[in-house]
């Protein structure tokens, strides 16, 4: 990254954001400038002298406590997802190729609605957020852009999943077809999206009203809700597949509806909705493809996870926690880029370094909690386990490796996105979660090998 190109790109991105903020301020009644100044003062103000665990979580009482509570809730619900996944093994065996697709389908919810929460957080910080049902409003265009991106990416990921499944299928194995993938992806994904959208909007309204920092809670809570509702929704949608002409006809209708939605939005005057879709869909497709490779890693390591079935319970929470930590960092960096508090630097400085330190401080207790909960649930439900101490050691070791990775992706990914004049709100969470889906599974396997487990 050259020293001359980066500042120019940074200035272009800042110019775009200032022009967008000014136009929004007129809609919001001219309150943007006051909100922006207030947000800068709050974010740049000295932190409170609260140092839990000997200062491990940093001195910011609001940042650490909000994030830790959201991460704890995310870890707990993700373990329920793990139990659900273990309970649906018969369904996975009945539909070959579905397990390959599940990480991508689940991750898509967080990759769509996490950035939505990030954009709304920035709007709250700059004083331009207000509740409105009008499609042309800031909120309306963001919701339309997110839903359109979700539908287009659902069809795209289903298509890539069919190609990968056919390429990897063993001879004589009849994997589910393209129409089956499309129906499961679009129908199951839409059912889950309705719930996750409602949760995201509820968090935004509550943050605006009660003064919460949405950047601290969006990634873990949206990720948790996405994990919690997407898997059952996908399994419910499997009732519509493998029905020959019915499944094919339904898939065709769904694809035509998605195409019609794209045409309507792109022929409208909803400029922000179009921008969200244009910037989001490519990164969602890349994220979904990388998540499919995570499914390949899991398929190749299935014997290790079957030896100690408690690892199947641990895995969704492990990946969700790593992604949530990276999402928290990406969201905070994105907001501070827009506010001018974080500048491009090869080595993180100032506010960026402070946020990275908080993320590391959150990683140790939350991965420990995750392993303890997984081990306890494993005992209750009769899952085979390597022992609680070994499980905690593996989860913390792998978790710290994963945290290092997501911090690198979140920080340098934000700089790269801004260099090309794009909005980091649209790209931070997808970049983190997609890359973690692949690397996260590997870090857990490496930790298991380090501690001699399986």
Residue 139 tokens read as: 């909120």
Average pLDDT per consecutive 10 residues, the chain (454 residues; last block may be shorter): 44 50 44 47 42 43 69 78 73 78 83 87 81 89 94 94 82 79 94 93 84 75 80 89 91 96 93 92 87 70 71 82 87 84 86 90 92 89 88 95 93 86 79 77 87 81
For residue 309, the model assigns a pLDDT of 78
Cα 51 to Cα 54, 107, 217, 232: the distances in Å are 6, 34, 20, 40
What is the model's pLDDT at position 44? 45
Specify the pLDDT at position 262.
95
pLDDT at 180: 93
pLDDT for res 209: 80
Quick one: pLDDT at residue 28?
A: 40
Residue 63 has a pLDDT of 60
pTM above 0.75, yes or no: no
């Amino acid at each position: 990254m050259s020293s001359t190109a980066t500042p120019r790109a940074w200035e272009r991105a800042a110019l775009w954001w200032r022009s967008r903020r000014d136009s929004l301020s007129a809609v919001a009644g001219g309150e943007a400038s006051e909100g922006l100044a207030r947000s800068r003062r709050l974010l740049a103000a000295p932190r409170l002298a609260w140092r839990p665990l000997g200062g491990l979580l940093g001195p910011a009482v609001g940042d650490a406590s909000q994030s830790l509570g959201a991460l704890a809730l995310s870890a707990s619900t993700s373990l329920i997802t793990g139990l659900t996944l273990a309970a649906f093994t018969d369904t996975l065996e009945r539909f070959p190729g579905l397990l390959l697709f599940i990480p991508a389908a689940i991750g898509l919810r967080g990759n769509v609605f996490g950035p939505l929460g990030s954009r709304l957080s920035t709007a709250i910080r700059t004083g331009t957020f207000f509740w409105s049902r009008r499609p042309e409003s800031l909120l309306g265009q963001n919701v339309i852009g997110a839903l359109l991106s979700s539908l287009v990416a659902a069809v795209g990921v289903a298509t890539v999943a069919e190609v990968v499944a056919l390429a990897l299928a063993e001879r004589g194995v009849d994997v589910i077809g393209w129409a089956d993938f499309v129906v499961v992806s679009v129908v199951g994904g839409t059912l889950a999206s309705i719930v996750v959208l409602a949760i995201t909007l509820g968090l935004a309204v509550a943050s605006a009203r009660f003064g919460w920092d949405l950047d601290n809670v969006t990634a873990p809570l949206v990720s948790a809700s996405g994990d919690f509702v997407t898997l059952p929704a996908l399994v419910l949608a499997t009732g519509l597949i493998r029905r020959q002409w019915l499944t094919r006809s339904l898939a065709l209708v769904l694809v035509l509806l998605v195409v019609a939605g794209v045409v309507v939005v792109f022929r409208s005057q909803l400029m922000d909705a179009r921008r969200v879709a244009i910037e989001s869909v490519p990164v969602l497709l890349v994220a979904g493809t990388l998540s499919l490779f995570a499914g390949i890693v899991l398929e190749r390591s299935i014997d290790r996870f079957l030896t100690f079935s408690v690892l199947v319970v641990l895995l969704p929470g492990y990946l969700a926690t790593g992604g949530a930590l990276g999402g928290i960092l990406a969201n905070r960096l994105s907001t501070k880029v827009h506010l001018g508090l974080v500048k491009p630097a090869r080595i993180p400085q100032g506010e960026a370094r402070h946020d990275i330190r908080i993320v590391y401080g959150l990683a140790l207790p939350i991965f420990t909690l995750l392993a303890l909960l997984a081990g306890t649930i494993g005992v209750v439900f009769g899952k085979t386990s390597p022992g609680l101490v070994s499980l905690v050691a593996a989860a913390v070791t792998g978790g710290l490796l994963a945290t290092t990775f997501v911090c690198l992706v979140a920080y340098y990914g934000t700089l790269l996105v801004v260099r090309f004049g794009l909005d980091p709100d649209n790209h931070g969470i997808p970049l983190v979660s997609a890359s973690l889906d692949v690397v996260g599974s590997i870090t857990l396997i490496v930790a298991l090998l380090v501690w001699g487990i399986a």
